[in-house]
A and B are shown apart, each in its own frame.
Chain A
């Protein structure tokens, strides 16, 4: 009897500790983001208050300033948002088309030096953005595509292709070969077999690869900070810097812009999560 009870108590204690650990982990993950969101709704006076004000008041001051007129503190948030959107969407579409054909080649064909090609492509992805930005800056300046959408799109396509290949390779691999063989026996060409049979099956996987590519471009800073100069091409991560002056930072405005950056990313993450994990774990160097 007694042993039973201590055993049960032990189990209960263990469950409590487990719950506490989960709660702590989640807090550490959530609080920094929440803090940013919360502060985007607080008046600047309150953010700067010393001693701190713990009961927050609510204001849309920063958002109103951000979307209205020239933008808060003259930061043209709207232009940055538009640039980010144009660059990210275009580069994602191109990277997916190129990456999908590459991924298909890795998943469906046997050829010599296959894993060599694969790792080789990945290595280009491993080149640090800062290290690449030095020569890209010079080359792009020579060609005359610095500070344009085109230049940035080109850079992001090259950056996203290797990883898209990795993901789509994984998704196409999960589709049994018999599927397109059957389609070909029924009289489809290889292209028709791909487009009408294999692509619809892998569609959700390709979509998640697309979202991943989109987020990479959406969030990129190291290249964008050097390859863009003016309001006409700066993206939001670079625009975030506009809120910092020599010694002061406009925290409220920055938080509002941050929220504007996070929200699309979070929504996309939510849609994509399941397929993304599957793609990462089953793709990669196999055979």
Chain B
């Protein structure tokens, strides 16, 4: 009897599949199971009690959860859109720079390489109401009130969004700039000859060409939107009075502070679904946009 040999591609992929199965898939299956139990870290025996969809029903009827969920969606919508617009703007600016472009591009990449936790600390310092840079500058310019950046709910949300945008706009700027560099010159010149206004040229020639690059950036971003957790955790910890609580901070509070792992895992699944939907959506868009301009193959 001869044993069928595994195909080569599968052998090559096997280590990756094994590692991911062991470290991600199995824990995820475990957390799926535990989300149907009242599991508490302090009482291990609770892991074996099956309560069905009780945890899910509980979070779906919990106003705090929905507030955090809504805030997360709002946060992502605002942040991703602004990052895209700013990134596009910066890329167009950089594309016109005639000298020192390489240096500027390198500087542009720096925020990408900052640890999210560091970004959080950095802006916690800068937005500090007492000794922070922002308030110091404002006061030196003659404003007498110290703005409570991280203490007031709205201002805190603004500060967090600012930090997040500061950190991640470069992803868009860099990739869109790469798109601009790769762009063929002929259609642009043809449009000029045909009398297109700059806006028309941008709207109908530049933008469609940039779409795949925008979707690549979106896909990469959607892979790690949850990094915002680090920033929020450091800057406000979800406070003041849960005004900046996002899905991820609520989850970690429920899991680690309240030790209610079953409930936290149920929330975890909601957040995983959210991330996966984002990712699949942009992957699809990416393939479609690539096919459109003939980059697929």
Q: Does B243 contact A (CB under 8 A)?
A: no
Cα of A233 to Cα of B24 in the assembled complex, Å: 21
A29 contacts across to B, CB distance below 8 A = 107-108, 110-111, 166, 170
Q: Does B230 contact A (CB under 8 A)?
A: yes
Q: Name B125's contact: one of A22, A35, A119 (CB within 8 Å).
A: A35
Kindly provide the distance from the CB of A213 to the nearest chain B CB, expressed in whole angstroms: 13
Cα of A32 to Cα of B255 in the assembled complex, Å: 33
Q: Does A138 contact B (CB under 8 A)?
A: yes
Q: Which residues, 209 to 263 on A, are CB-close (under 8 Å) to B?
A: 215, 218-222, 226, 237, 240-241, 249, 251, 254-255, 258, 261-262
Q: Does B106 contact A (CB under 8 A)?
A: yes
Cα of A209 to Cα of B59 in the assembled complex, Å: 40
Give the interface segment out of B189-197, B201-209, B276-284: B276-284
Q: Does A188 contact B (CB under 8 A)?
A: no
Q: Name A262's contact: one of B10, B114, B256 (CB within 8 Å).
A: B114
Q: Name B106's contact: one of A99, A273, A284 (CB within 8 Å).
A: A273
Kindly provide the distance from the CB of A127 to the nearest chain B CB, expressed in whole angstroms: 5
**Known contacts A33-B114, A39-B125, A266-B113; A109 and B9 CB within 8 A of each other:** yes
Q: Which A residues are closer than 8 A to B by beta carbons?
A: 18, 21-22, 25-26, 28-33, 35-36, 39, 47-52, 54, 97-99, 101-102, 104-105, 108-109, 111, 115, 117, 119, 121-136, 138-139, 154-155, 157-158, 161-163, 165, 190, 215, 218-222, 226, 237, 240-241, 249, 251, 254-255, 258, 261-262, 265-266, 268-270, 273, 277-278, 280-281, 284-287
Asked whether, in the complex, the Cβ of B229 is within 8 Å of the Cβ of A139, the reply is: no
Q: Name B279's contact: one of A35, A123, A129 (CB within 8 Å).
A: A123
Nearest residue (CB) in B for A218 is B115
Give the 8 A-B residue pairs with the shortest CB-CB distance, closest first.
A128-B226, A219-B115, A158-B23, A131-B268, A135-B31, A109-B9, A135-B27, A105-B12
Q: Which B residues are closer than 8 A to A by beta carbons?
A: 7-10, 12-13, 15-16, 19-20, 22-28, 30-31, 34, 41, 90, 93-94, 96-97, 104-118, 121-126, 130-131, 133, 136, 139-140, 166, 170, 174-175, 178-179, 182, 213, 216, 219-220, 222-227, 229-230, 233-234, 248, 251-252, 255-256, 261, 264-265, 268-269, 271-272, 275-276, 278-280, 283, 286-287, 290, 295-297
Nearest residue (CB) in B for A163 is B223
Asked whether, in the complex, the Cβ of A261 is within 8 Å of the Cβ of B229, the reply is: no
Asked whether, in the complex, the Cβ of B12 is within 8 Å of the Cβ of A22, the reply is: no
**Known contacts A135-B28, A280-B220, A286-B295; A121 and B229 CB within 8 A of each other:** no
**Known contacts A128-B271, A134-B265; A251 and B24 CB within 8 A of each other:** no
Asked whether, in the complex, the Cβ of B122 is within 8 Å of the Cβ of A47, the reply is: no
